[in-house]
Amino acid sequence: MYRRNRRRYRRNRILDVLLVMFLFFLVLTSVFLVMNRGYLSYQKGKRAIRKELYQTAAECLQKATKREPSNKEYRIVYGLALAGNGEYEDALKEFDKGISKKNTSKAAKRNKKAYRGIGICYFFAKNYENSIINFDKALKIDALEYLNLDILKYKADAQLHLGHFENAVEVYTHIIKNEKYSDDSYLKRAYAKAEGNRVDDALEDYDYVIEKNSRNFDAYLGAYTLLAREEQEEKADSYLQAALKVKPVTLDEKLKYAIVQYYFYGITDEAVESLQKLVEEKQTEAYFYLAKIAFSEEEFEKVSTYLNSYVSTEHAEHLAEAYEMLGRCAMLVKDYERALNCFSDGISCNEVKWTRILKKNQIAVYEYLSDFDKAYDIATEYLTDFPDDQEIIREVEFIKTRLNRK
């Protein structure tokens, strides 16, 4: 009897152990399957990003993060997908979740990618100050060195937007020394030098690009614009004449060639026809130059039509200037409310060069409306950013006379 009970006890113990092992295996398998599904969604998302299918990527990576919410790598890649889809606020949240406080090489790599992603989000949201702060955080991390040039290019572009031209020149010079030859880096450095009043240095860069790539119309146009501004008209025209000898092939070259024709020959039927054909071929930058032609001929309805089409396109190169032109058109027909809206839209582009002009335009509109309190507020705010602007200093004194202020 005793032996039989003992055997039963042992058998039950073995069954209990086997049951526990089975349950443990079942839980482990379930966890593995959930994690594996998360990993599969993650891989699908990465492949979609490589194909620039950002919406698809975001959907896959959202599933991955739900299945493994603590996986920081998934968070970072999900952030990239959201950023690619233009969802910058949500992307920032994901990048922030991807940052780790651990002092490991893996954490350092993830953090570098996260700060780079945050910088890119701020860059495309036109918050250039914060983009530079985060690019600097990424650059300080001693890992994934291959990302540094890409980060520096974004940083230098942000500096250009903010009008930090000398800083931008330094960064582009570093980029040029550490990458294979690129027209783009030389052209941007030339622009930064030109805006920093380093005329001869800028021309050297433009000439070097033309020497390396005689088909680069941006170099001819950059040199022309700089010299025309310096009132060296004969030398400026020589760059346009050289550009006119190049036969355009691609749509982008045809657009730039039409712009060269416009600057050299002035407003001609040929220039207008060329730009209109380019609009039909989806070269949306042509809208901007058609608007400039229409503005110079005081055809303000046409200007509005062209620019409304232009500002609705993605990645418009002259967005702040376009809003400034739209605002001036509205002023000329005494539609001051619309003018103010256009100037505000232009200021939101955060382009320092145009912000100054747009704020001056705002002051003028409020003076037209006899709203001197508002004009005074904008003018004094303007002087906190640009304290040496004598024109606005005088304007503030004028506004004070209307407000009886001392």
Q: Within a domain: residue 351? A: yes
> What is the share, in percent, of the chain residues with pLDDT greater than 70?
90
CA angle 60, 62, 64 (to 5 degrees): 75
pLDDT (mean) for 366-381: 93
Question: Per-residue pLDDT tens for 184-200?
Answer: 999 999 999 999 999 99
Q: Within a domain: residue 54? A: no
Q: Within a domain: residue 21? A: no
| Residue corresponding to tokens 């985060």 | 134
Q: Within a domain: residue 225? A: no
Is residue 180 over pLDDT 60?
Answer: yes
The CATH number covering residue 375 comes to: 1.25.40.10
Is residue 167 over pLDDT 70?
Answer: yes
- Going by pLDDT thresholds of 50, 70 and 90, the confidence category of residue 356 is very high
Mean pLDDT, all residues of the chain: 88
Number of domains in the chain: 1
Positions of E strands within 55-110 = none
| pLDDT of the residue at 380 | 93
- Going by pLDDT thresholds of 50, 70 and 90, the confidence category of residue 7 is low
Is residue 170 over pLDDT 80?
Answer: yes
DSSP 8-state assignment for residue 290: H
**Residue 236 near residue 224 (C-beta atoms within 8 A):** yes
Question: Per-residue pLDDT tens for 109-138?
Answer: 999 999 999 999 999 999 999 999 999 999
Which helix (H) or strand (E) is 143 found in, with range? Answer: none
| pLDDT of the residue at 26 | 43
| pLDDT of the residue at 62 | 87
Q: Within a domain: residue 400? A: yes
- Going by pLDDT thresholds of 50, 70 and 90, the confidence category of residue 42 is confident
- Going by pLDDT thresholds of 50, 70 and 90, the confidence category of residue 14 is low
> What is the share, in percent, of the chain residues with pLDDT greater than 90?
63
Question: CB 40: neighbour CB atoms within 10 A?
Answer: 14
Residue type for position 244: L
Nearest C-alpha neighbor of 138 from the set 165, 172, 98, 178? 98
pLDDT (mean) for 321-340: 94
Q: Which domain covers residue 378, as residue numbers? A: 323-406
What lies within 8 Å, CB to CB, of 347 at 6+ separation is 320, 355, 358, 359, 362
Burial (0-12, 13-18, 19+ Cβ within 10 Å), 242: middle
Is residue 24 over pLDDT 70?
Answer: no
| pLDDT of the residue at 405 | 62
Is residue 104 over pLDDT 90?
Answer: yes
Structure tokens at 164: 């930090």
Is residue 396 over pLDDT 80?
Answer: yes
Structure tokens at 332: 């000329």
Q: Within a domain: residue 374? A: yes
Q: Please tell me the pTM assigned to this model.
A: 0.82
Is residue 218 over pLDDT 50?
Answer: yes
Q: Within a domain: residue 337? A: yes
Is residue 58 over pLDDT 80?
Answer: yes
Is residue 330 over pLDDT 50?
Answer: yes
pLDDT (mean) for 256-276: 86
| pLDDT of the residue at 128 | 95
Q: Rounded distance, CA 122 to CA 136, Å?
A: 13
Is residue 74 over pLDDT 90?
Answer: no
Q: Within a domain: residue 223? A: no
| pLDDT of the residue at 281 | 87
- Going by pLDDT thresholds of 50, 70 and 90, the confidence category of residue 2 is very low
| pLDDT of the residue at 1 | 54
| pLDDT of the residue at 33 | 40
Is residue 28 over pLDDT 90?
Answer: no
Q: Rounded distance, CA 254 to CA 250, Å?
A: 6
**Residue 392 near residue 379 (C-beta atoms within 8 A):** yes
| pLDDT of the residue at 190 | 97
Burial (0-12, 13-18, 19+ Cβ within 10 Å), 93: middle
